[in-house]
Structure 1
Amino acid sequence: MPIEETESKPVRHPEYVYMDYARHLSGRLRRTITGPMWHGPSLREALQGLNAADAVERPIRSMKTVWEIVLHVTARAERARLRMDGMALEEPTPAEDWPRIPIPCTAAAWEDSQVRMANAYRSMAVRVCEVMSSGFLKVVEKQSYNIATMADGVAEHGAYHAGQIVILRREIISRRPNAATLTDLMW
């Protein structure tokens, strides 16, 4: 990386600092879906072994279903991606923030929801590196934060909801006939 010599010490050009941070954020966004994550499972890992019937089950009445959470993190990542492209979006309505589960709740629809979620995070990861030099610290339209902060928030949001999915998954699996052993419930 180009280093500029000064009388006191070498100084890295700011664009390379941004590039390093963009790569870091891009990696965090990818790992939110694929793992490995130091604190627990990624979204994909948290969803392992859950089918469409499991995903619509509500084992804890006060919580959303797994499928609702998947649609929610997808909607938030897709919205952030549009904001990265300069779209001036207001905060989402409740219906936009928590989209309805597709009816009928088929295995194909469940698979499609998971693919859309993964694609939304991958798209964000790619876009973070693309906007790095042109506006990484640019304030997002109609918001008080910059693109870097928003991308970081999308990764944190996915990690938070992966933890919720793990809790729901444990409950779902524990209610199955021939319930899994304790070690099966770890992830």
Structure 2
Amino acid sequence: MNELASHLKQIQRAFEGEAWHGPSLMEALDGVDCHMAKRHHVQGVHSIWEIALHTVAWKRAVTHWLESREFTVDEADNFPKPEEGDDAEWEHVLNALRVAQAELLAVVARLTNEKLYQSPPGRETVYSDYLFGIVHHDLYHAGQISLLKKAAQVEFSGGGIK
């Protein structure tokens, strides 16, 4: 397997599974409904909904940067709050996450092994660092979501972690 194929595989595993380390981002989101997603289960911590939208924003940012396009994640996009937070909106968020992942994978698939250690025009970070970074980002937030799901289970059961 060449290096680029390995990057593609890791990006996909961090997003949808078959990882040795634990749940992928989508596995962590499995079983989360709109009520669990929008609620702040830990005071001062972002909700699962906000984290999901945050990951969409950063996948889009990396996709743009890999294509040498400008993209800024402003505060409104970084951890946006849900408007109503109903089932349809939550499904829209999950779909936006899938679309952002597909767009990212399409751009990465067009890279070459030779480009991995070069920087996109106008940027200092090399392509491979963006690819490693998006894997780390997905896994960091998968862990965060997993902990918030545990907190929700405690909150809803009224007892300790089981």
TM-score relative to the length of structure 1? 0.78
Q: Report whether the alignment pairs 1:65 with 2:43.
A: no
Q: 2:20 aligns with which of 34, 38, 42?
A: 38
Within the candidate set 63, 79, 97, 1:117 is matched to 97
Any idea what SS the aligned residue of 1:63 has?
A: coil
> Does 2:73 correspond to 1:96?
no
Which residue of the other structure, out of 10, 14, 29, is the alignment partner of 1:47?
29
Shift of 1:97: 2.1
Structure 1 pair 143–100 and aligned structure 2 pair: CA distance change class (3 A): farther
Tell me which amino acid in the other structure corresponds to 1:150.
Answer: Y
Aligned residue identity for 1:53: H
Cα distance per residue 1:19-55 (max 9 Å; x no partner): 8111111111111221022111011111121110100
> Does 2:16 match 1:20?
no
Q: Name the structure 2 match of 1:176.
A: 156
User: Aligned residue for 2:56?
Assistant: 74
* Partner AA of 1:126 in structure 2: A
TM-score for both structures, normalised by structure 2: 0.89
Gaps of 5+ in 2: none
**Count of residues paired in the alignment:** 162
Distance, in Å, in 1 between the alignment partners of 2:93 and 2:31 is 15
The RMSD of aligned alpha carbons is: 2.1
Question: CA separation in 2, counterparts of 1:134 and 1:88?
Answer: 23
Match of 2:136?
156
Is the 8 Å Cα contact of residues 137 and 146 (structure 1) preserved in structure 2? yes
Bigger Rg, structure 1 or 2: 1
Deviation at 1:136, TM superposition (A): 3.3
Alignment of 1:117-156 (within 5 A): 117-132=97-112, 135-156=115-136
- Find the aligned partners of 1:179 and 1:142 in 2 and give their Cα distance: 53
